[in-house]
Structure 1
Amino acid sequence: MNKTGVFGLAFLAVSVATILSSCHDKRSRGLEYAPNMYYPIAYNPDQKNKNFENGITAQVPPAGTTPIGFTRFDEFPNTAEGYEAASASVVNPLPVTKENLAQGKHLYVVMCGPCHGKDGSGNGHIVELGKYPAPPSYATGNSSRGGAMKDLTDGKIYHTIQYGLNLMGSYASQLSPEERWKVVMYVHQLQKGQQ
C-alpha cells in the first residue's frame, strides 16, 4: 500500500471514531476533572430536602441560638424599663484611645451626622431640608425620655443605637457592637462640647 492509501485509511479511521464518539449520551460532559464542581454535594436553600420533616432546606434556627459574630442585647428589651436597666448596668468595654475616638467620629459623621449634625447640635443635612424636626443637641438639649442629653450614660446611648427612638431607626444592622461602642465614646465628646 502506498503513502496516500495509508494516510487516507488513517483519516477515515479517525473520522469514524469521531463520529461514533459524538453519538452517545448528549447530556454527558465527557471526562470531568472535578465532578463536585458540576454536581454540588450541599443542598441549595430553595431545594427540597428529604432530611427534614417539612422537606425544606432553609430551616429557621432553633430558639435561643445566637449566630456567629452576633452579640445579644436581649436582657435589655426595647422598653422604658430596658432603657433604664441598660443605663444602670451597661458600660463601654472599649478603652478611650485616640484611635477609638477617631473611628467613632468617622462612624458618627457617616451614620449619625445627617440628622444630629457633625457637632451634635441637631442641625444635620436632613434637618436642614425642613422635612424632619431637629433632634436635641447633645450638649444643651433635653432627651424625649427625660433628662439632659449631656447626662446620657453609655447604656442609654447604646440602647438607643440598638433599638432607635422616635424618628430614629435602629442602627443594629448597620453598626457592629464594637462600632456602636466607638460611636458612644464619640457622643460623650460631643456631650462635653468637644469635637
Structure 2
Amino acid sequence: MSPSLKYGLSAASLVLSLGVASCTPDPNSPGVEYAPEMYESIPYEPLRQIRFNTINSFGINERTPAAGTVPRGKLAYFDHIPKDSVGIAERTLHNPYAYTKENVLEGQALFTRYCQHCHGEKGDGQGPVGMKFKGVPNYSAGAYKTMNDGHIYHVIEWGRNRMMPHGSQVNPEERWKIAMYVHVLQINNDPADLPKVVKVAAPADVTSASTGEASAMTDPTNQKPEGKANANSHSETPGQGTKGRNGSMN
C-alpha cells in the first residue's frame, strides 16, 4: 500500500469516527465539539447556563437581587401603583416633562412605533389590528377625550382590558411623551392639531434624568463624564496621571 493511500485512508477513518461520535440521539447533547472554549464561556454568565454552578445557590449563575435594591437607571421604571388602580394614577402621577414641540414630536414617533397598529394614525381605533379585533377606543369620544397624563401613562405601563402591558417596551420618559401626543389625538383625531398641545418653547426638563436615575434607554444625561473622563479634555500631565490622585512622580 502506497504511503499516500495509507494516509488518505487514515484521515478518512478519523473523519468518519468523529462524525459518528458527534452524532447522538440526545437532542440536548452537542456531541463532540472542537475547541468548545472558543464559544462556551468559562467564566459564569448570568443568562447562560451550560453546567452546574458549584458556588451560587441552587446551582444557577443568575442570582436573585438583594431585597430592596433597584437596578441602576431603573428608579422610576415602575410607579408602584397596582395594575387595577388607574384612578390612583390619574390623581397622583404628574408628567415631569414640558410640553415642547420636540417632546410632542418624539411622542408622535413613539406612538407610530408602538401604538398606531391598534389605535390607528388618528387615534380612532382604526389601525389594521384594531379593525380586525374591534373594541379599540376612539381617543376623541366619551371619557377617552378627557384622560389625563397619569391615566395614559398607567395604561401604557400595565395595559387594560385586551391591551397588553407595554412597560417593558417603553421606558418612563417615552410613556410620558406618548401621553403628550395622545392629547393631540384627543382634540379631533387629527395629528395636525399638534401645535395646540405645545405650551412652551424650549424649557429644560427637570426630571430624575438629571440625577442619572431615569431609564438609560433614551436618557443622554446618564452618560455624564466622571471628572474629566470622556469629557474631551486632556491631562495636564500626560503619562503621569492626575497629581491630585496619584501624587507626584518624584
Task: Mark yes or no: TM-score above 0.5.
Answer: yes
Deviation of the 1:53 alpha carbon: 4.0
- Residue 70 of structure 2 is aligned with which of 66, 85, 99? 66
1:83-126 CA distance string (max 9 Å, x none): 11110011111111111111101111121111111111111111
Compared CA separation, residues 177 and 74, structure 1 to 2 (3 A): closer
Matches within 5 A, 1:34-49: 42-45=43-46, 46=49, 47-49=51-53
Cα pair 1:120 1:137 within 8 Å, conserved? yes
Cα pair 1:84 1:156 within 8 Å, conserved? yes
Compared CA separation, residues 54 and 127, structure 1 to 2 (3 A): closer
2:31 aligns to what? none
Alpha-carbon distance in 2 for matches of 1:53, 1:117: 49
TM-score (norm 2): 0.54
1:75 aligns to what? 80
Alpha-carbon distance in 1 for matches of 2:109, 2:61: 41
Alpha-carbon RMSD across the aligned residues, in angstroms, is 2.3
Alpha-carbon distance in 1 for matches of 2:129, 2:183: 22
Deviation of the 1:138 alpha carbon: 0.7
Larger mean CA deviation between 172-181 and 37-46 belongs to: 37-46
Deviation of the 1:192 alpha carbon: 1.6
2:181 aligns to what? 186
Write the letter of the residue equivalent to 1:76.
I
Compared CA separation, residues 50 and 87, structure 1 to 2 (3 A): same
* Residue 153, structure 1, aligned to residue 148, structure 2: yes
Alpha-carbon distance in 1 for matches of 2:100, 2:79: 29
Deviation of the 1:177 alpha carbon: 1.1
2:58 aligns to what? 54
Write the letter of the residue equivalent to 1:163.
W
Cα pair 1:123 1:134 within 8 Å, conserved? no
1:55-77 CA distance string (max 9 Å, x none): 43211222332222223435311
Cα pair 1:161 1:172 within 8 Å, conserved? yes
In the alignment of these two chains, the number of paired residues is 149
Cα pair 1:117 1:123 within 8 Å, conserved? yes
* Secondary structure of the corresponding residue to residue 115 of structure 2: helix
In the alignment, structure 1 segments of 5+ residues that lack a partner are 1-36, 143-147
- The percentage of aligned residue pairs carrying the same residue is 40
Alpha-carbon distance in 2 for matches of 1:112, 1:83: 19
1:152-192 CA distance string (max 9 Å, x none): 11111001000001111011111111111110000011112
